[in-house]
Amino acid sequence: MQQLEKPSLSYSLSDWRQGYESQYQEREYLIDDIEGEIPLDLSGTLYRNGPGLLDVHGTPLQHPFDGDGMICAFTFDNGSCFFRNRFVQTKEYLEEQKAGKMLYRGVFGSQKPGGWLANLFDMRIKNIANTNVLYWGDKLLALWEAAHPYRLNPENLATIGLDDLDGVLQKGDVFSAHPRIDRTSQFNHGKPSLVNFGIKQGVSSTITIYEFDELGKIIQKYSHETKGFCFIHDFVITPNYCILFQNPTTYNPLPFIFGLRGAGECLDFDNSKPTKIILIPRNTPHEKVITLEASAGFIFHHSNAFEINREEIVVDSICYEQLSQIDPDNSYKEVDFDKLAPGQLWRFKLNLATQKVTKELINQRCVEFPSIHPDNVGRDYRYIFIGATDHPTKNAPLQALLKLDLETKQEQLYSFAPKGFVSEPVFVPKNNASGEDDGWVLMLVYDSRHHRSDLVIFDGKDISQPVATLHLKQHIPYGLHGSFHSAK
Ligand code: FE2
């Protein structure tokens, strides 16, 4: 029988690019175009954040990470879903809306029109609040890693303003977009706590760890200095440690200062240096910081970490061989995926006694944006739900949902190729769940065939088919992170 050769590409660049068109409209409506049925026990709100504008009044951005944050909220109640999207009205967003033109450079390379002279010595940072959104205590917060969070009204997503977390953040402090929730924190009497970090750059960089109780009140705050520039986007926790991977990067700010390059384009990956793995004790006095070394690699996101015993710790991360440099001369829309280093899931084993780190590849497929059962953050776990490529080995845009069983090594994949492009999945445990994968997986998918986005719901136990597909009336540009909150 003649074998039909699978097309080498599961996507077209022009389809993929359409998902990066700006979404100018803010809307709210009950979603009425639904395939399948929304589970009746799915109750609460999925919040998503990501760049909503990929241009500022007609000036295209050099990198999507520079786009103004737009929040989407999907509120589930009794088998229905209400959708709402609104921009985070940051000070800079409002100024640019009023001026009708771009007033700020973007950290990732977007320059004001007018060449280097127009950007010379303009060191102002635009807080775009576009990376994550999280409900904690009684606050809904839009997060961006180089500034204070913005507080939003959870009822209608209206922006309340910059938030210093009840005086915890001082002027100039930053709060990362990747907090971790410890569901049974020994520092909060076994109740949930929110742990996060912020980094102040310098010749020596200062990592500050914050831990809050379930009401948003600070429990502990402590700092550690590490040599060199720190490009650390995410971290992991275990019951006893905060663990940060200091990617081997150097930073030369001069092209940024002189208006020639964006700050993000001044980063260099140095594969002659190791990745430093910094373990900061969560226990007071937080002094016995352990620093280990692994071969060079670049990590944006971790899946999870856990302690096997007092001496052995496991960290699962999406690791790239190198940081793909931002090309200042080409638009991100012209990307050649074959030339980019693929992100793959690796397991790092840290031995605190021997100070040795080993790593092994968990799965060959290119993946990003992991999600796990929230009760297992910092603890041994079995299942990962993650955005994945359609092709089993080649680099490409994310077009599929992958479920990985770390115990049996089995995997299940649902692909939206060739026309669909996925975002981060969010795993929501069912009420009275009967296992770690017994929950709903929510995923926003861009459908290039109709130039609109769908919110797709899977049953975590079996992702061979969606349970429901909710068609929005418009597209949502590719987003970054989000979270689920059970209050309606
Ligand atoms: Fe991230």
Q: Are 73 and 81 in contact (CB under 8 A)?
A: no
What is the 393 CA–ligand 1 centroid distance (Å)? 23
Q: Which helix (H) or strand (E) holds 98?
A: helix 91-99
The pLDDT score that the predictor gives to residue 230 is 84
State the pLDDT confidence band at 324, using cuts at 50, 70 and 90: low
The pLDDT score that the predictor gives to residue 297 is 85
What is the 440 CA–ligand 1 centroid distance (Å)? 21
Q: Is residue 460 included in any domain, yes or no?
A: yes
State the pLDDT confidence band at 107, using cuts at 50, 70 and 90: confident
Residues 392-448: pLDDT tens digits?
A: 999 999 999 999 999 999 999 999 999 999 999 999 999 989 999 999 999 999 999
The pLDDT score that the predictor gives to residue 289 is 97
What is the 143 CA–ligand 1 centroid distance (Å)? 10
- Read off the pLDDT of each residue in 274-292 and give the average, rounded to a whole number: 95
What is the 190 CA–ligand 1 centroid distance (Å)? 27
Q: Is residue 96 included in any domain, yes or no?
A: yes
Q: How far is CA 264 from CA 105, 172, 250, 260, in A?
A: 11, 19, 11, 12
Inform me whether the pLDDT recorded for 303 exceeds 70: yes
**Mean pLDDT lowest for which of 204-218, 257-271, 302-316, 375-389?**
257-271
The pLDDT score that the predictor gives to residue 186 is 98
What is the 454 CA–ligand 1 centroid distance (Å)? 21
The pLDDT score that the predictor gives to residue 7 is 56
Q: Is residue 439 included in any domain, yes or no?
A: yes
The pLDDT score that the predictor gives to residue 122 is 65
- Read off the pLDDT of each residue in 272-286 and give the average, rounded to a whole number: 94
The span from the CA of 230 to the CA of 207, in Å, is: 9
The pLDDT score that the predictor gives to residue 321 is 85
Inform me whether the pLDDT recorded for 309 exceeds 90: yes
State the pLDDT confidence band at 219, using cuts at 50, 70 and 90: very high
**Mean pLDDT lowest for which of 69-83, 172-186, 192-206, 348-362?**
192-206
Q: Are 196 and 176 in contact (CB under 8 A)?
A: yes
Mean pLDDT of the chain: 92
Q: Is residue 5 included in any domain, yes or no?
A: no
State the pLDDT confidence band at 231, using cuts at 50, 70 and 90: confident
Q: Is residue 314 included in any domain, yes or no?
A: yes
The span from the CA of 228 to the CA of 269, in Å, is: 13
Say whether 203 sits in a helix, a strand or coil. coil
The span from the CA of 479 to the CA of 71, in Å, is: 9
The pLDDT score that the predictor gives to residue 358 is 97
* Phi, psi (deg, nearest 5) at residue 295: -60, 155
Inform me whether the pLDDT recorded for 48 exceeds 80: yes
Top-confidence residue, 281 or 268? 281
Q: Is residue 7 included in any domain, yes or no?
A: no
What is the 398 CA–ligand 1 centroid distance (Å)? 15
Domain count, the chain: 1
Inform me whether the pLDDT recorded for 257 exceeds 70: no
Inform me whether the pLDDT recorded for 114 exceeds 80: no
What is the 182 CA–ligand 1 centroid distance (Å)? 18
Q: Which helix (H) or strand (E) holds 116?
A: helix 115-119
The span from the CA of 242 to the CA of 180, in Å, is: 10
The span from the CA of 147 to the CA of 164, in Å, is: 10
What is the 370 CA–ligand 1 centroid distance (Å)? 10
| Residue 98 domain boundaries | 13-486
The pLDDT score that the predictor gives to residue 111 is 76
What is the 217 CA–ligand 1 centroid distance (Å)? 24
Highest mean pLDDT: which of 267-276, 315-324, 372-381?
Answer: 372-381
**Mean pLDDT lowest for which of 6-15, 167-176, 239-248, 277-286?**
6-15
Tell me what percent of the residues of the chain surpass a pLDDT of 70. 92
Q: Is residue 375 included in any domain, yes or no?
A: yes
Q: Is residue 3 included in any domain, yes or no?
A: no
What is the 482 CA–ligand 1 centroid distance (Å)? 10
What is the 274 CA–ligand 1 centroid distance (Å)? 22
Q: Which two tokens stand for residue 233?
A: 């986007």
- Read off the pLDDT of each residue in 112-140 and give the average, rounded to a whole number: 82
The pLDDT score that the predictor gives to residue 4 is 47
State the pLDDT confidence band at 62, using cuts at 50, 70 and 90: confident
Task: Specify the pairing of strand 139-143 against strand 44-51.
Answer: unpaired
State the pLDDT confidence band at 271, using cuts at 50, 70 and 90: confident
The pLDDT score that the predictor gives to residue 115 is 72
